[in-house]
Every structure is written in C-alpha cells, then in structure tokens.
Amino acid sequence: MPKLLIISVTCNQGSTGKIAEQVGIIMKEEGWDVYYAHGARRVSPSQLKTIPFSSVKTEYLHALKALLFNADGLGSTRETKKLIEQIKEIKPDVIHIHNIHGYYLNYKLLFEYLNSTNIPIVLTLHDCWNFTGHCAYFDFANCEKWKSCCYECPLIGFSYMSLIDRTKYNYGLKKRLFSNNNNMYIVPVSNWLGNLVEQSFLKGKSINVIHNGIDLNIFKPYPTENSDKIKILGVSNIWDKRKGLLDFYKLRESLPVNEFDIFLVGLSQKQIKELPIGIDGIERTSNQQELARIYSKADVLINPTYADNYPTVNLESIACGTPVITYRTGGSPESLSEATGIIVKQGDIKGLLEAIIKIKNNSDKSKFTPDVCRLHAKQNFDKNKCFREYSNLFKSLIK
C-alpha cells in the first residue's frame, strides 16, 4: 500500500486545509495510506490519520520571532525535528506540502532533511511566499525584486509584518533549499501564479497547474424568498485593506439604502460594531451549509480583492447560483466566465456600480442566472474532478 504524507498549516480548516483534506480523502479511497501533519491553531476533525506535531504556544513564539527577526518559517525547531522523525518512521512514497509559512514549521530543517532523500515532493503553491524573501503577495507594491533577489522590502511592515528586513537572506535561503531538491514538483493553483513561478528561481522545476475544486453537494442553490431589494454579498476569512473592505464602504455610499442591501461574512466583532449604516455582517462561519444558504440568498457576490490567487469564495458563490463581480487581481478572474460574472479594474467603484446594475437589469437567460452559474460550476469546480489530477500526479511519481 503506497503512503502519502500531507503537511499543512491547518487541519481541514480554511480553503487550504479543506483542499488538503479532500486530496487526502481521494487518495485514501484509492487505497493509499494517508497521514496529515498539521499546525495547532486551526484544527477541525479529519477523516485521515492526523499528526499534530506543533502546539499553540510554540506557534505564538514562532510568530514573535518572525515579528522581531523577519523569520517566518525559521522557528519551531523542536517540533520540526519531531516531524522529521515521524517521516522517517512512516517512510512515505510521496509528500504533499501546502503552506510552509504560518509559524508552525521550520522549512530550513525540513528541506535540509528532504534534500538528502529521494522522496518525491509535491509543493502546492497557494500564494507567492515560497519564491520571495518575505511577502505572500507583492501586488500592492508593484515589486519585481523577487525575479532576481529580494532586498529593502517595501512590504516589510505590511504583509507578515516584521521589525527588521532580512529579505535578502530569506530569499537566498529559499532559493538554495528549494533549488537543491531534485525531486520537487510545483503545483500552482492558478494560471496566474503558474506564470509567476516560471519567472522565479523555481522555473527549472516541473510545474503543473491544478485548479482548486469544491464540494458541489454542499455548495448548491438553496430555496430563497423573493425580495424587493438587491442583495449584495461579500465573503472573506479575514477582512482588511487587501480584501477590499473599504471599497464596500465606498460602494455603500453610492447605492440607495432602500434598493440595495450589503451583507459581509467573516468580520471580527470590532469590525461589526464599526460597520456604517446599510451594511450588515457576521463573523466567520465554519458551517458550510449555512454559508451556502447565504450565497444562495444573494443576487451577486462582490470580491474586491487587491491580492489573491484563486479565491474559493468565487467558486462557492457560482456553485450556489450567484454571479460574481471581482477585481482584475491575480487568478481571481480565472474562475469566471462572461456568463457567470464581471471583471472590474482594481479600485474602480464606478465599475462595480455599473456591473451591479448590469446584472440587476439582465434579461438574457444565458447570463448570470442560477442555472447558468450552476452548470459552469459542475463543469469546472467539482472537487472530484479537480483533485483527481493530484492522484494522477502522485501515481506517476511512484512508478
């Protein structure tokens, strides 16, 4: 029986954790022995053999080290040594790694060990962190230093904030460790990210884009009540400037309160208290059925993200029959078709307004309807089809 070891910062939580879980379940169904090593702060029940090698205390200490010394991914020494010993004991045929950053793992220790073995490594990239000296996304700063060497980072106080700049050291360390692994296969989850990888120091690796999928048995249209108002929805795990929270405030100022409702999911309690009149919100929900019903009630999802890869909220909304308006950011437009959404220039509030009105006044049954959206989701977002590509990759690596 072949063995698969998954390594992820979360366990069956958030988009990354759920992707890791679903890939593992597929491999388990195909007869593989699957282990899931993960961090400690965001954990949900799993159907796999879990290895919780970290702890909340050490992750907070790791986060402090990252803040003081720009050292995300370079703490958790004892925990990573423990993981390495478990890898030696399990003897996996393939290791599938998701986010390395997140204060739970020491990538230097891990890859110094992995580089001494012949174990095939599949590294799924959910952002740009693996080939930069600091940030997960560099869109805000329009920075291209990562193509040659990071230094004097313009985002040192913003993305994964740190008090000092060690981006040149971090960049060199990642380049040396990742480039020296001859058994590593890169899987970006969007074509946009795949194009960036081709311009980075990882360009010599085997690169295979695999788009994310979702559970279409959960994310589907649910019955809703008719309303005279147009319901506008925004969903995010964390709402901040990067996710476009302030753009919803500007949008609210431009829409009549008696004609349009705005509802946001994923806010903190403090953010909920500070919401302007005309915007309602709730905290993040881990109940996927509840979230699917919220999508179904909306007339349109707006995703005004300024830095993103292949956001799952787009897939979930379309699968529930709700069209999407998103900024032309990263891989966010890749999940939309002309019949299921509209793409707008970043920061263009007027463009958002025009897109909302276009969807509101649409009379073309081949666009923006629940049936059209649902069909698009079945053709493109079914997790069983999307994640089956990992199965094909894993099997090819052990032949």
pTM assigned to the model: 0.92
- Does residue 178 have a pLDDT over 90? yes
231-259 mean pLDDT: 93
Q: What angle do CA 255, 259, 264 make, to 5 degrees?
A: 65
290-299 mean pLDDT: 97
Phi, psi of 119 (to 5 degrees): -70, 125
Question: Start-end ranges of CATH 3.40.50.2000 in the chain?
Answer: 3-213+383-398, 230-380
Q: What pLDDT is attached to residue 157?
A: 77
CATH of domain 3-213+383-398: 3.40.50.2000
- Contact call for residues 357 and 227 (beta carbons, < 8 A): no
- Does residue 115 have a pLDDT over 90? yes
Taking the CA atoms of 85, 42, 66 and 306 in sequence, report the sign of the dihedral they define: positive
CA distances (Å), origin 313, targets 31, 92, 199, 323: 31, 33, 28, 11
Using pLDDT thresholds of 50, 70 and 90, give the confidence band for residue 322. very high
The percent helix, strand, coil of the chain (3-state, each to 5) is 40, 15, 45
Length of the chain in terms of residues written = 399
Tell me how far apart the alpha carbons of residues 286 and 16 are, in angstroms, rounded to a whole number.
14
Look over the chain and give the mean of its residue pLDDT values, rounded to a whole number. Answer: 95
Tell me how far apart the alpha carbons of residues 336 and 318 are, in angstroms, rounded to a whole number.
8
- Does residue 227 have a pLDDT over 90? no
CATH topology of domain 230-380: Rossmann fold (3.40.50)
Using pLDDT thresholds of 50, 70 and 90, give the confidence band for residue 286. confident
Per DSSP (E only), the strands in 260-350 are 260-265, 279-282, 300-303, 324-327, 341-344
DSSP one-letter code for 133: S
Residue of 196 and 14 predicted with greater confidence? 196
341-356 mean pLDDT: 97
Residue of 395 and 363 predicted with greater confidence? 395
Q: What pLDDT is attached to residue 84?
A: 98
Q: What pLDDT is attached to residue 49?
A: 97
User: Tens digit of pLDDT for each residue in 127-142?
Assistant: 999 999 999 999 878 8
Phi, psi of 201 (to 5 degrees): -70, -5
Phi, psi of 185 (to 5 degrees): -120, 130
